[in-house]
Structure 1
Amino acid sequence: MLESCLHCFHSRGEKVDLEFELNRRLFRRMHMAVTSPYDHGPVLFPQVEDIEDGGLVRPATLDMNRIALYDPRVGFNRPQMQAVTAIARLPRGTIPFIVFGPPGTGKTVTIVEAILQVLAWDPEARILACAPSNNGADIIADRLCDSLSTSQLFRLNAPSRVNNVSRRLESYSLQYDDGSFRVPAPETIMQYRVVVSTCASGCLPHGVGVPNGHFTHIFIDEAGQASEPEVMIPIQMNADANTTIVLAGDPKQLGPVIRSPIARRLGLDISYLDRLMARDMYKSVANRGVTYVKLIKNWRSHRSIIEFPDQQFYDGELEACADPSAAEWCLGWDKLSNPRYPIIFHAIKCQDLRESSSPSWFNIEEASAVMDYVRDLRYDQPDEEIGVITPYRAQVGKLRTLLQADFPEVKVGTTEEFQGDERHAIIVSTVRSSLDFVEFDVRHTLGFVANPRRFNVAMTRAKSVLIIVGDPDVLGLDPLWRRFLNRIHTNGGWKGQRIPWAPAAEVADGFIDDHLPYDAQMLAQSELDLRNVLAGTSAMGLEALDEVEVLEADADLYWHEDE
């Protein structure tokens, strides 16, 4: 509708002013959730003594062997079996149970199997399963469709959602004649054994009159990606003291998107999952199988791809279990520097640029190099199995334009858009190739430099080949990147410009003298340039923003659907 109206004005040569207002529905629901009367201590602020009081114990091998699995793959994965068994037998109203799922370890498979086992174990169980985004909720619902009928499973969609669900899930939803979604009456919702929705729409059952405590279990997948108030929407609007809470996610990957610098300083960028997992009762190895389970079998990537993130983020516990036919597909490819090592770092020294009215960076030379790699890969790999990740919106736009004509199925997006995704081949364009603003980037953890979570997500999406195009002088400012680049160089995966430091030298955890190699004049000039960019933006009639918010928008933080 908006597009057709704009086309009409454009065809008549008229100028129009558009003003968009923020939809405050999600924020209202978060406020409503955190001010609700629900205050069950073991769920909100669990204590060590709650473990014994709740009767929590590690599942015995005999208990695991007694389970009749819906997905036989789980039977060959002891951590998954432990998680499924523990969840199925959790006492009502106990402390939250956490499924810690590093990349490619089958977290969603575990959650789906656990839901089905709860239903089998407890005939009275009623489950609300949520995820922060519609895509995440659709994945859970779609996998449950294999085992549950339309009378048992309901995909609760917000009335405002655009009808882009699969045909399969349409039969599990309720729609008006015009195709829009509707929320059924409370007695209808209460007939289903499983209701799946987004976290934001998790308040709808309560809103139409479903009583608190009707749902015996509430599952939150990707719980680390949503803010704590957002995760509290389905919990505090539906739970009572007897409701069991299960969280799944990875605190080492991207957390919630919080735009406000004030909100970040007040701690809203710390998710509910992060807050709980920082407590000793969820960190202790002795409590594995009791309060949480850590999945350790990586079914996605070649061993060389997962090895460095495993050591840096997961205590070296991940086991490379991917099917060799997929993981080793690229070995021997003539573009690999080392035919037995499926990682390339293409060192390129070029120029990063910005449009005059935007603070977002792009890099034409890197985009051209990405294009060449895509062209080389697609002879042996379908376009849809190639992904391109870059941290800046401007570079996403340039790459999409460049690839659209010949490679329309290649996915190009920011790191946030790739969380939870995977491709046989991943190409990463890091963009930054000058020291201007890099200190600002480091202070505010933008792009890839000095942002471990964004680094972790980007480097763990590939199944069989990972290609990084970037400037080592910029990336090497960060100790994490420098260690990674040293490893690539040692394994013969380096291409292009020579490595600008001694790769065998030990890398300290911090920067030299705790700061980057700037003199005061360079820093002052960088800050002045930044203010000029903002002033130019305001001069064009655009609202001036706080400099931190502008540059964090530059990192293209992904804002999922509010419903």
Structure 2
Amino acid sequence: MIPDKFCPDVLYGTGCSDTSCIAEHDVILCELCIVVCSPASNYDSHIRGQSHRTNLQLATTLPGRLGAEDLRRCTVCSFNIPMDAWGIHLAAPAHKKHEQLAILRNAYEQAERNKRGINVSLEDGVDFGVVTLEQAAEGDIQTAVTVTNETSEWISMLHTEVRSRIPGHAKFTVTPNTTNVPLRTGQPLRFSVAFRHTQLGRYDARLEFTFRAAAGNFVIARRLRIAVGDYEDHELLKPVTPFVRSRRMHWSVDGPVLPGVAPPREIMNWRRELRHFPIPGELAEILQIRSPQDTIDRLRERCFHDGLSQANHLDYFATLLWIEEHRMAEDLKMYDMIGVEFVQEGKLHSLHVHGLAEKRPSVTIGDTILVQASGGGQAFKGMVHEIQEERVRINFHASFHGTGTHYNVRFTLNRTPLRRQHQALVAPIRSPQRLLFPVSGFEGLERPVVASDLRLGLFNSTIGGNPAQLEAVISILQLKIGAAPFIVFGPPGTGKTVTIVEAILQILLLNPEAKVLACAPSNSAADILAQRLTSLSPEELFRCNAAFREPGSLPADLLAYSYRPTHQFSLPSLAQLAKYRVIVSTCNNASFAYNIGLPEGHFTHVFVDEAGQASEPEVLVAIKPLALDDTRVILSGDPKQLGPVIRSSVAREFGMEKSYLERLMALPLYSGERGRGTTYVKLTKNYRSHEAILQYPNEKFYDGELEVCGLPSSINAFLNSRQLVSPKYPVVFHAISGRNEREATSPSYFNIDEAIQVKAYVAALLQDKRHPVHAEDIGVIAPYHAQVRKIRRLLKESGLGTVKVGSVEEFQGQERRVIIVSTVRSSADLLAYDAKFTLGFLSNPRRFNVAMTRAKSLLVVVGDAAILCVDPLWRAFMNHIFLRNGWRGDEPTWDVNAPVLTDADYADELRDAIAAEMNSVMSMLPPEQDMEAEANVERGQWEGGDSADW
């Protein structure tokens, strides 16, 4: 770690007034480039350098030193720090690490400057720009570099060397490879720098000339850069503006906020009103603590010290909901708009909101939006009436005049879903133990069933050939009164929804009095359930929709099963609702049954499909308010796939990220062979994927129990394809060196090089006449929203826009013949890399599992192996592919035959590379500019990082 050599008042302030200060003051921080210049005389050469000039051209304003009055800006870390924590921040390892890098950037600059009378041409380095793959493969990309001794001093060139990010992977060469050659005054030596490679990507290296002089050896370096790809694609996808962290808008409201008029909606005869459940004042105060760890410590002491139990279940989850609500409200502030204009359209005012069509921010009809003139004054609460693509139309108070005035806009959180979950938590329950903490005696069955226990005429005959599916259906039909929730554990492609639908239809057939509530966390999943039940008539099946659901988002074949008397969805009469045999809803919207007045016990069966994707309070909305002892509860899902999306790290710390399904399956009643067949059934026949695609996740997540049962014509469709490395192995890992980038105020990452490689695969697949595939059969998954947008744009511009591109969450429950995964995270510059935090949520095992199990017949993963290998799960996956000859691109730098330890910190390998890089840079500097004392890194201290975004 850097000793405290530099005076922080000089480095980060306006100067030091302490006459007794012994720290070094001969230093200047360039806030624009975040470079520490020491001695201060280096600042003049720094600002003349290409890097500073480029940053100055791109920047619109210098980073501010101060945020709010009680905050101080740390330009090195790009964070606003509370004034009372400034000293603690400067001493923290995370700050020291960023300070190290700032000093090291200056060391790089010094190494790249001509010195001691030696002039190396191309002082700004060599940037070949963007070249085509054909040019790179031919190797005709080269430039000349000259070295001239402009003094009479005796100096010789010891050697030349090209250093790359990954040792041994340099694609640049320098000729001639001169060693120990005298440099005669005025007689330049000429060198040729060339590049040759056969892969797309970004390649950076450093050309080092080592010289010997009487005063000692020294080095002059030149940076080498090239991008292999398509110039037009790079221009299309490059950052629109440099990334700058979004500033939080200062919102000050004095006096009343004038409301607009809410959109018209059908008046419902609610028997039970939905309460508000505001955040308690004491909890709100704790949540204002800036440090997440301090917040966690306070909450553990005040609210969570006893852990979750049946006695405190209500208070425990109510507190978690409030914590999550606070975080959601704070996150919405990221979408604050400053200085925007409204367009008056009749009685409404419209506003363009970038990202609205992608629900960033998520705005629905009936939401409220706060508005205030940019200079302050009267605040208004607008009511959203219409949403069209990226325009929202709002009703304001009659005194609002939008035209010609600039306003600040803040989106507000729609609390209705959270209020419904609070309502479910406080609802009285007849049998809390059997639903929340079941123990021995609550098994649904005395023993596992066998096919002969119940002879069924199956609606779906294929279930008869699947013993686990048939067992699940029979088990559900024979559940005892008072049984604990029964779980259908459905790994990818095993047909859990098919199983649930068969069970529902059998219940209706065998029990004329049965009434079923079938739910799922999302509209899309609920729609699938309803579509598979359309053998029922509209008098038997009702698809319940939220009032302001966009009508166009409902599949056309479900319109007859919905109720939309006007321009909005609604509910029929209570009497009509009571007649339906099956009602399908999202989990949250299932609160309608309780609020409209259906009696307890009305539903004989409650099914929740994809239950692993919802939080416990969300699932309980569908179960807890109306369940009696004889209400059978059936959950289906996979605890090994994506869980609920929880935004608050504090709420995750106390268990809210664990779904109801996962928590139940961790109880002894559901454990291992004891519960199998009596409290849960595990489906094992996979009808989706080729064996090569399924093998790794099967072994990693499902104990190797999954059987490959897909149709050969489907799963073998791409064998012998030219896109494969091995003709019989339809899995490819394509190693590519790219670069993380961000733009504007979005913290989301994109990777242009990977996007171009994805496009290349899509185009090649669609052109392959021997293995024909439609664009609709190809899916592209990226874990970052910015990459999703970039790939969508690139494919659209290339006439390939019908290929679905989405996040991992968007693909859960879906499948495609071909899946291409772009992992995004990369770093051509090791010094900008933080091994602990770079992978972010990419290293989440569940996210990995979902992404790798969507493909039927071809899986292609595009990523930076040198970065992904720090995670044990990814390292083992890449080893698996490499050893089966599915690898394309530069080979792994680690031993692929060595066992992978699940708890190992493979980031140490990158830390070693970073330390070696630092030592190499420091060794370039002549003795009078040696900064080793300031910049030497202790590997054990490289634990900090900008984790605030995660």
Could you state the TM-score of these two structures normalised by the residue count of structure 1?
0.89
State the match for 1:389 in structure 2. 781
- The answer to whether structure 1 residue 446 and structure 2 residue 840 are counterparts is yes
- How much has 1:492 moved relative to structure 2? 0.7
State the match for 2:813 in structure 1. 420
Task: Output the amino acid matched with 2:437.
Answer: F
State the match for 1:121 in structure 2. 510
Task: Output the amino acid matched with 1:441.
Answer: F
RMSD over equivalenced CA pairs, Å: 2.4
Q: Pick the aligned partner of 1:401 from 760, 781, 793.
A: 793
State the match for 2:665 in structure 1. 277
CA distance in 2, matches of 1:392, 1:427: 14
Q: Say if 1:347 and 1:469, in contact at 8 Å, map to a contact too.
A: yes
Task: Output the amino acid matched with 1:169.
Answer: L
CA distance in 2, matches of 1:181, 1:342: 46
State the match for 1:555 in structure 2. none
SS of 2:867's equivalent in the other structure is: helix
SS of 1:448's equivalent in the other structure is: helix
CA distance in 2, matches of 1:69, 1:513: 52
Q: Say if 2:725 and 2:885, in contact at 8 Å, map to a contact too.
A: yes
CA distance in 2, matches of 1:463, 1:388: 13
Give the 5 Å matches for 1:455-466. 455-466=848-859
State the match for 1:100 in structure 2. 489
CA distance in 1, matches of 2:894, 2:755: 25
What are the Cα deviations for residues 57-101 of structure 1, in whole angstroms up to 9, with x where unaligned?
A: 32133124x111001111110000000000011123311100000
Give the 5 Å matches for 1:316-335. 316-335=704-723
Q: Which moved more, 1:303-312 or 1:378-387?
A: 378-387
Q: Say if 1:437 and 1:526, in contact at 8 Å, map to a contact too.
A: no
State the match for 1:56 in structure 2. 446
State the match for 1:227 in structure 2. 615
Q: Pick the aligned partner of 2:574 from 152, 177, 186.
A: 186
SS of 1:80's equivalent in the other structure is: helix
Q: Say if 1:297 and 1:321, in contact at 8 Å, map to a contact too.
A: yes
- The answer to whether structure 1 residue 205 and structure 2 residue 550 are counterparts is no
Q: Say if 1:218 and 1:245, in contact at 8 Å, map to a contact too.
A: yes
- The answer to whether structure 1 residue 263 and structure 2 residue 651 are counterparts is yes
Task: Output the amino acid matched with 1:174.
Answer: Y
SS of 2:411's equivalent in the other structure is: coil
State the match for 1:543 in structure 2. none
Task: Output the amino acid matched with 1:446.
Answer: G
CA distance in 2, matches of 1:365, 1:447: 21
Task: Output the amino acid matched with 1:19.
Answer: R
State the match for 1:241 in structure 2. 629
Shift of the 514–431 alpha-carbon distance from structure 1 to 2, 3 Å rule, reads: closer
Q: Pick the aligned partner of 2:424 from 11, 28, 33.
A: 33
SS of 1:353's equivalent in the other structure is: coil
- How much has 1:526 moved relative to structure 2? 9.5
CA distance in 2, matches of 1:371, 1:482: 25
Shift of the 342–109 alpha-carbon distance from structure 1 to 2, 3 Å rule, reads: same
SS of 1:482's equivalent in the other structure is: helix
SS of 1:49's equivalent in the other structure is: coil
Q: Say if 2:471 and 2:681, in contact at 8 Å, map to a contact too.
A: yes
Q: Which runs of 5+ in 1 are unaligned?
A: 531-546, 552-563
- How much has 1:427 moved relative to structure 2? 0.5
- How much has 1:501 moved relative to structure 2? 1.2
- How much has 1:16 moved relative to structure 2? 4.3
Q: Pick the aligned partner of 2:726 from 335, 338, 360.
A: 338
State the match for 2:889 in structure 1. 496
CA distance in 2, matches of 1:220, 1:523: 47
Q: Say if 2:445 and 2:679, in contact at 8 Å, map to a contact too.
A: no
- The answer to whether structure 1 residue 174 and structure 2 residue 563 are counterparts is yes
- How much has 1:330 moved relative to structure 2? 0.6
CA distance in 1, matches of 2:603, 2:466: 29
- The answer to whether structure 1 residue 294 and structure 2 residue 688 are counterparts is no
Aligned residues: 524
Task: Output the amino acid matched with 1:25.
Answer: T
Higher relative contact order (CA 8 A, sep 6+): 1
Shift of the 43–330 alpha-carbon distance from structure 1 to 2, 3 Å rule, reads: same
- How much has 1:437 moved relative to structure 2? 5.6
What are the Cα deviations for residues 127-177 of structure 1, in whole angstroms up to 9, with x where unaligned?
A: 10000001111100000002x111111111111211121222110111123
State the match for 1:556 in structure 2. none
- How much has 1:527 moved relative to structure 2? 5.8
State the match for 2:532 in structure 1. 143
Q: Say if 2:445 and 2:678, in contact at 8 Å, map to a contact too.
A: no
What are the Cα deviations for residues 402-438 of structure 1, in whole angstroms up to 9, with x where unaligned?
A: 1113111111111111111110000011111126465
- How much has 1:15 moved relative to structure 2? 4.6
Task: Output the amino acid matched with 1:241.
Answer: D
Q: Say if 1:186 and 1:205, in contact at 8 Å, map to a contact too.
A: no
- The answer to whether structure 1 residue 160 and structure 2 residue 554 are counterparts is no
- How much has 1:524 moved relative to structure 2? 8.2
SS of 1:67's equivalent in the other structure is: coil
What are the Cα deviations for residues 13-59 of structure 1, in whole angstroms up to 9, with x where unaligned?
A: 875433211110011011111111115111111102222xx653321
Percent identity, aligned pairs only? Answer: 47
What are the Cα deviations for residues 313-345 of structure 1, in whole angstroms up to 9, with x where unaligned?
A: 000000000111110111011121101000111
Q: Say if 1:212 and 1:237, in contact at 8 Å, map to a contact too.
A: yes
SS of 2:755's equivalent in the other structure is: helix
- How much has 1:356 moved relative to structure 2? 4.9
SS of 1:293's equivalent in the other structure is: strand
State the match for 1:23 in structure 2. 414
Q: Which moved more, 1:304-313 or 1:83-92?
A: 83-92
SS of 2:840's equivalent in the other structure is: coil
Give the 5 Å matches for 1:467-478. 467-478=860-871
Q: Say if 1:337 and 1:344, in contact at 8 Å, map to a contact too.
A: yes
Q: Pick the aligned partner of 2:478 from 89, 92, 95.
A: 89
Q: Say if 1:389 and 1:428, in contact at 8 Å, map to a contact too.
A: yes
- How much has 1:439 moved relative to structure 2? 3.9
Q: Pick the aligned partner of 1:486 from 879, 892, 897.
A: 879
Higher helix share: 1
State the match for 2:175 in structure 1. none
Task: Output the amino acid matched with 2:449.
Answer: P
Q: Say if 2:439 and 2:668, in contact at 8 Å, map to a contact too.
A: no
Q: Say if 1:345 and 1:488, in contact at 8 Å, map to a contact too.
A: yes
Q: Pick the aligned partner of 1:364 from 734, 749, 752.
A: 752
- The answer to whether structure 1 residue 429 and structure 2 residue 828 are counterparts is no
Shift of the 438–319 alpha-carbon distance from structure 1 to 2, 3 Å rule, reads: farther
SS of 2:627's equivalent in the other structure is: coil
State the match for 2:500 in structure 1. 111
SS of 2:779's equivalent in the other structure is: strand
Could you state the TM-score of these two structures normalised by the residue count of structure 2?
0.53
What are the Cα deviations for residues 502-532 of structure 1, in whole angstroms up to 9, with x where unaligned?
A: 211111122248967436679989967x4xx
Shift of the 31–523 alpha-carbon distance from structure 1 to 2, 3 Å rule, reads: farther
Task: Output the amino acid matched with 1:81.
Answer: L
Shift of the 265–78 alpha-carbon distance from structure 1 to 2, 3 Å rule, reads: same
Q: Say if 2:835 and 2:910, in contact at 8 Å, map to a contact too.
A: no
State the match for 1:251 in structure 2. 639
Task: Output the amino acid matched with 1:61.
Answer: A
- How much has 1:262 moved relative to structure 2? 1.6
What are the Cα deviations for residues 425-472 of structure 1, in whole angstroms up to 9, with x where unaligned?
A: 000111111264654437xx73322x1111100000000000011111
Task: Output the amino acid matched with 1:23.
Answer: N
